[in-house]
Each structure stands twice: as C-alpha cells, then as structure tokens.
Amino acid sequence: MRRDERGPWYLLTGVVLGFAMSLLYTWLFSPVKYIDTAPSLLRADFKDQYRALIAAAYVADKDLARAQVRLKLLSDPDVVRALTIQAQSALAQGRPDTEVRALGVLALALSQGVTPVATTAQATVTLTATPMSTISPTPVVAWSATSAVLSGTITHGTTSPASSLRTPLPTPTPLPTRTQTPTPGAPFVLKDLKQVCDTHLAQPLIQVETRDAANQPVPGVEVIVSWDGGENHFFTGLKSELSLGYADFTMTPGVKYALRLAEGGQPVPDLTSTECAQGVMDRYWGSLKLVFVQP
Amino acid sequence: MSRWLLFLIAIVIGAAAGLYYGWVLNPVKYVDMTPDSLRIDYKTDYVLMVAEAYHAEGDLAVAVRRLAVLGDTPPAEIVANATLYAAQHGWPETDLVQIKTFGDALQSWNPVLGVPTP
C-alpha cells in the first residue's frame, strides 16, 4: 500500500496510544492523592472512634452545639440513631462504661432537642464551604465543597485572614455554649414494680424506667442486674424509640435476679418471671416492670 | 508536515486527554480514609476533643491511644502542631489552654511506664 493511501488512521493510533499511556500513568504510577479530607470520608471504624470521642468531649465540656457541629462532619443520615446503635454495640462489645454512657448521654441530649442558646454575640456555629484545590508534583485534590455538611469546617475563634494559599480556611466563630445534660440528682427510689403480661413480648423482660422529679425520663442511668453466677450492666436510653429512660434485660425463667441502679438507690431482690395466662390453655412467661423516680 | 511529527502530536493529544481523564474526570477514588489524612483544622479539633476528654477522665494512656490514629507522629508533636494552628487561627483561649495543658502533660508522659514521670 502506498503511503498516501494509508489515510489518517495513524493519527488515531497516536491518540489512542497516548491516551493509554497517560491512563497507565495517572491510575497506576501517579494516582491522585487525597489530602485534607473530611471526617465523613473516614473508614467506618474510625468514624466510630471519632463519634465516641465527640461524645467523650461532650460529656467533658457540655457543649451540645459544638457536639452537633462535630457530628455533622460525619454525615450520618440519622445522628441519634447512629449514636444509639454505637452505644448498644459498644455495650455488647464490653467497651468501657464511660464510652457507652457518653454515647447514650449525647444521643439523649440530641433526641431531646435541647437547643443551645447563644450566650454571646460570638457564640454561633457556622458550617462553611471551603473550596480548595492544591497542586503538587503529584496531583493533589483536596476535598471541595459539595455540600455544607461534607465540607463543614470546625472553626474556632475570631475572624482571621486566610491562613495560606493551600488552605484558605474561613474562620467564623463557633464558641462553646453550655447546654443541659442529664444531671445527677437524688438517688432513685423504686416507685412501682408490677408484672407485665404482654403476649407481644417474645421473652420475659425486666423493664426498667427511670424518671426524674419532674417525671421526665432519665437516660444514661446504669442498671446492674445480678443473679447466681452472673451480673450484667446496661443503661437506660439506649432504646430511645421506646423511652429515653427505658432499658430492659431478658430474664431466664426460674432464675432469681437482683437489680439495682449504679447511681444508688435501693436494690430490688428476688425478681423472677412468673407465668401469665391467656385463657385456660395459653400460658406464657410474664415480664416485670420497675419504675424508679428521683424524689 | 511529516507524518512522524503528526503522529507525535497525536500521541501528545491522546496523552493530554488521558491525563485529564485520569486525574480530573475519573481519578482513582479513595474511600475508607484514615484520620491522618484529615485536614489540619479537623486534626486540631480532634486534638481538642482528646484534650477535653483527657481533662475530664484524667487518663493519659487513653488520650495517647486516641491520638495514635492520627499517624506515626509522636503525640507531643501532634499536640504541638495543633496548639500552633489553634493559636494562629484565633481559637478561644479556653480551647488553647486545654490543648496546651494537655501538651504539657504529654511532655512528662512515659510510654514505658504508662504514667507521667515526675
């Protein structure tokens, strides 16, 4: 074939060759490196650690506004649910009580909708978009703002000039706002103990409800159930869909349990499941409900 | 223009298109990032959270473990960087104090004994 008859196909070959070579380079030898990422991109277990730390910090500083801002950075679809599930999981895994309690307390504070009140003009929380891009020998793409939440920036202090070309961080002012948390009060007193015959309960339960003097549910109260050869600790408020002051424990029929609250109050001995009857033939194990109140 | 030159230009055009595609349009996607890749302000806030929790719990070993997820950098250095960032960006004095005192505690941290050294 003569040269003139080959047509422009060699040009296409060149383009394809160049394209393939550069893809090889960009995907294998020098892929994009992400720096300056946001907490929402963390691996699930690191997110859990982050969430637990937020809760621990909340217990320490009682700053619900700040905790909310921090939690938004994780982009959980349902923050309270995420905290509750993690608290239950942490409890099941035998994580430290302080961690479980902190998660429960923060979940409660959020679910109660305690709205922090700004006490000063500067006490505001601002989520801001932070468009950034960076260039380095290998291409570096910093996470840019796709949403206010994704790129939410924890910022503190007063307005200051942008830090550098690399990270032009806006600097609004989220300052601590003291907010309510469940407060320790007087020791709980057993107000009511009754058998519950509910066919909807698949297993016999010890149901505990804790309420404060205003008859409001109190979450994060540690409940200790012991029996011959065993003991279990759990917390109220982890089943917030039932009640923030609710907790339960599955009983084994025939076993006697003693229950007390870790924060004090009277121990309740000899708790055991007794039979309930529905009609003549239908018998099943009943549950127990204990209501503790702070006088 | 010679065919070889045109061929070379075609390769360059293809390479440029490939670079744009590989770096911009469809770059390698990273998921499951580790905390050491966090932006400096998030890292600083993370350190602040650790400091707040430390001041409440008083457990330096736990605090050091929490800092460990931020990478191989020594804890004291992580806190020093956070202190610097917080100071440069006008974080509230209360936060600065928390981070600084936490950093001071770390200075006397003995990782072997697991307790602050006198």
Segment A23-37, tens digit of pLDDT: 888 788 877 666 778
* B41 contacts A40 by C-beta, under 8 angstroms: no
pLDDT at B1 over 80: no
pLDDT at A180 over 50: no
Query: When comparing pLDDT for A38 and A175, which is higher?
Result: A38
Cβ within 8 Å, pair A10-B7:
yes
- Per-residue pLDDT tens over the stretch A114-157: 544 333 333 333 333 333 333 333 333 333 332 333 334 444 54
Q: Kindly identify which residue of chain A lies nearest to residue B53, measuring between CA atoms.
A: A57
A11, A26, A60: residue with CB nearest B23: A26
Q: How far is CA A127 from CA A72, A165, B85, in A?
A: 9, 20, 19
Chain A residues lying within 8 Å of B95, measured CB to CB: 156
Chain B residues lying within 8 Å of A56, measured CB to CB: 49, 52-53, 56-57
Chain A residues lying within 8 Å of B68, measured CB to CB: none
B13, B33, B91: residue with CB nearest A37: B33
* B36 contacts A39 by C-beta, under 8 angstroms: no
- Per-residue pLDDT tens over the stretch B18-70: 888 888 888 776 667 888 889 999 999 999 999 999 999 999 999 999 999 99
Cβ within 8 Å, pair B52-A44:
no
Q: What single DSSP character describes residue B25? A: I
pLDDT at B114 over 70: no
Average pLDDT in the B78-90 region? 94
**Sign of the dihedral through C-alpha B40, B46, B52, B54:** negative
The residue assigned the tokens 């007794």 is A274
Query: When comparing pLDDT for A242 and A68, which is higher?
Result: A68
pTM attached to this predicted model: 0.55
Query: Which of the residue ranges A26-40, A240-254, A276-290, B74-88 would you say has the lowest mean pLDDT?
Result: A26-40
pLDDT at A218 over 70: yes
Torsion angle defined by CA atoms of residues A55, A59, A65 and A68, in that order, rounded to the nearest 10 degrees? 10
Cβ within 8 Å, pair B39-A36:
yes
Task: Sketch out chain A's domains with CATH numbers.
Answer: 32-179 (no CATH), 189-293 (2.60.40.10)
Q: Tell whether A131 lies on the interface with B, counting CB pairs under 8 A.
A: no
| Per-residue model confidence (pLDDT) at position A160 | 35
Q: Tell whether B10 lies on the interface with A, counting CB pairs under 8 A.
A: yes
pLDDT at A241 over 60: yes
Read off the pLDDT band of B99 (50, 70, 90): very high
Query: Which of the residue ranges A128-142, A185-199, B82-96 would you say has the lowest mean pLDDT?
Result: A128-142
Number of A/B CB contacts below 8 angstroms equals: 185
Chain A residues lying within 8 Å of B82, measured CB to CB: none
Read off the pLDDT band of B79 (50, 70, 90): very high
Between CA A40 and CA A70 the distance in angstroms is: 10
Between CA A116 and CA A174 the distance in angstroms is: 12
Where would I find the beta strands (DSSP E) of chain B?
109-110, 115-116
Query: When comparing pLDDT for B42 and A280, which is higher?
Result: B42
Q: Kindly identify which residue of chain B lies nearest to residue A53, measuring between CA atoms.
A: B49
Q: Tell whether A123 lies on the interface with B, counting CB pairs under 8 A.
A: no
pLDDT at B118 over 50: no
Cβ within 8 Å, pair B37-A163:
no
Distance from CA of B110 to the nearest CA of A (A): 23
Cβ within 8 Å, pair A53-B3:
no
Q: Tell whether B41 lies on the interface with A, counting CB pairs under 8 A.
A: yes
Where would I find the beta strands (DSSP E) of chain A?
33-35, 140-142, 189-196, 205-211, 222-227, 230-235, 246-250, 257-261, 268-271, 275-278, 282-285, 287-293
pLDDT at B2 over 80: yes
Pick the most confident of A28-32, A238-242, B13-17. Answer: B13-17
* B16 contacts A20 by C-beta, under 8 angstroms: no
| Per-residue model confidence (pLDDT) at position B18 | 86
B window 52-111, beta carbon within 8 A of A: 52-53, 55-57, 66, 69, 86, 88-92, 94-95
| Mean of the per-residue pLDDT values of chain A | 73
Average pLDDT in the A158-179 region? 35
| Per-residue model confidence (pLDDT) at position A295 | 80
Pick the most confident of A1-5, A58-62, A181-185. Answer: A58-62
| Per-residue model confidence (pLDDT) at position B111 | 65
Residue from B9, B13, B38, B95 to probe the interface with A (highest A Cβ count within 10 Å): B38
A window 210-249, beta carbon within 8 A of B: none
